[in-house]
Structures are given as C-alpha cells and as structure tokens.
Amino acid sequence: MSRVAYVNGQYRPHGQATVHIEDRGFQFADGVYEVWSVFDGRLADFDGHMTRLHRSLDELRIDIPMSREALTRVLQETVRRNRVTEGLVYIQVTRGTARRDHPFPPEGTPPSVIVTARSLPVSKGNAAAAKGVAVVTHPDIRWGRCDIKTVGLLPNVLAKQAAKEKGAAEAWMVDEMGLVTEGSSTNAWIVDADGVLRTRDSQSNILRGITRAAVLALVESEGLTFEERAFSVDEAKQAREAFYTSASGYVMPAVSIDGVKIGDGKPGPVATRLRELYLNQARRDAI
C-alpha cells in the first residue's frame, strides 16, 4: 500500500511530498514536532500531545497553523489514508518558507505543516520489552530549552547513533554533574537500590514526556513510592530496575547500562507492570 503525507493543505504520495528549500525547518531547524502512538487506528494520549504542540509553538512564537479541530481531523485522516492500525503519527510545524535570513520572516508568513503516519506493530515492541534492551551513556550537549519539542535534534541524533554503534537501543544523556537527564528520544527511570522509583524532575531542562506524565499518574494510582529526583550514572548502574518511556516505545525495560547488568539482567516487575498498565490505558483512551 502506498503511503500518503499531508503537506500544507494537500494529501500527496509520500515520495512526492516536498517542502521548499528555504523552509525554515530545513535552514534553521526553526520548527517543532509531535508524535502520537496509534492503537486500532486511534491516537493515544491525544490531549497531552496536542497541548504540548501548542505550548512548543507558543514558546517559539510560531503561528498556530489551524484550529485544534481542523488539526485533529488532519491527523486522523492521515492515519486513515495510510491504513495505520498500530503505529505512529508525526506532525512537524515550521516557521514557514522565506528568503534565508536569521530574524523571523515577515508577519503573515504561513507556517509549514506536514503530517506523516507509519505502521509499527506493538508486537515488535513487546518482543524487545520481554527481553529488555541495552542502554549506553553519552554526554548531554544540548541547549537550555529541551522542554520545547524542536526539530533541532542533532545532539540526540549523535547520541542515538553512538548507542547503535555500541549495539544498544538507547543513549541516556548525562549532565556535567554526572546525573542522567533523559534518553535521546525517551525519558529515563530507575527503581533505585532502595526500591524507590525515580525519574528526573520535569522542571530541569528535559522534555516533559507525555508518556512520562501518564506513567506517573499510574504510579500514583498503584500506590508505588516514587520521587521526581535526578539519579547519577552510578545509581543507575546499581539500580534494581531501569526503563525508559516514550510514545513510540511505551515503557521499555533496560537490562544493561554501559555493559553493566541491571538487577538480574532481566526486565523487572515494576517496568513490566507499568508497561502493561500503560498499554491498556492508552488503548482504551485513544481517540
């Protein structure tokens, strides 16, 4: 089945879907994005991702391209036209196309909007989650506004590639104090040596993951002890469990960090339970 992309008001065959060479996303990474997971053709954690998209646009003073309702229809229609039942839908909004010049383009320059969707069977993630994945650490060299979901992802790309070259699934980025910030495209969690579930607090220069927030709500309703407090690489290596969260990976157990086995080297009970709870809830509430 051929894929279809939405580009600035039109649905186009994926291979012919293009933006201008002077799109500011291409020239300056002057744009933001959002990703929803799709279950049964419906979008999960819908409001959380939509609200974060609007916040990212507001923070960068990029015009909101269309009403929330219209945008919702475009996202759902792109999923439908690509016949995605389980997978991901991606939106990118940039400050539009204008002659290359650093300041914002003239007022009224329309933002560019592209939407794509692709299949990613949950069963594939489940197979990885059943075994657990490897994580490596990497210096966090990003800017000071990682709370905005911008397409400026070069440090994240370099970290993920470093992980791949070491046979790992994800890179956990580490700040100058030796504390883990987050994964290259995920939020990082541990169950520490004392049994406390921990993830870095969302005020401190990380992306406020929508999956992270949903899992934290589940953690509270399960009555688990947890702290939103950063952990060091050493603490992570001595942890009982490690895992990461994202819209594409849900809750993914990590069984080694820099080659050091975590716990007994198998996915832990907390991560396994949270994955199941999260998947059930996301499926049920998708729209």
- Applying CB under 6 A, the residues found at the interface with ligand PMP are 35, 156, 182, 185-187, 207, 209-212, 245-247
Torsion angle in degrees (nearest 10) through CA of 213, 181, 118, 169: -120
Cβ 99 to ligand PMP, closest distance in Å?
31
Compare residues 100 and 143 and give the one whose CB is closer to ligand PMP.
Answer: 143
Compare residues 6 and 278 and give the one whose CB is closer to ligand PMP.
Answer: 278
- 166-170 contacts, C-beta under 8 A, 24 or more apart: 166/134, 166/136, 167/134, 168/133, 168/134, 168/135, 168/136, 169/128, 169/133, 169/134, 169/135, 169/252, 169/254, 170/133, 170/135, 170/136, 170/244, 170/252, 170/254
Cβ 251 to ligand PMP, closest distance in Å?
10
Compare residues 58 and 194 and give the one whose CB is closer to ligand PMP.
Answer: 58
- Does 164 participate in catalysis according to the annotation? no
Cβ 68 to ligand PMP, closest distance in Å?
18
Compare residues 230 and 247 and give the one whose CB is closer to ligand PMP.
Answer: 247
Compare residues 56 and 211 and give the one whose CB is closer to ligand PMP.
Answer: 211
- 52-58 contacts, C-beta under 8 A, 24 or more apart: 52/149, 52/208, 52/210, 53/91, 53/93, 53/149, 55/148, 56/32, 56/148, 56/149, 56/150, 57/32, 57/93
106 and 98 Cβ atoms separated by less than 8 Å: yes
Cβ 96 to ligand PMP, closest distance in Å?
23
Residues 6+ apart with CB under 8 A from 47: none
194 and 200 Cβ atoms separated by less than 8 Å: no
Cβ 192 to ligand PMP, closest distance in Å?
20
Q: Which of 124, 131, 149, 261 is catalytic?
A: 149
- Residue identified by tokens 């229609």 is 77
C-alpha neighbours within 13 Å on the C-beta side of residue 93: 24
In this structure, what token pair is assigned to residue 257?
């960090």
Active site residues: 149
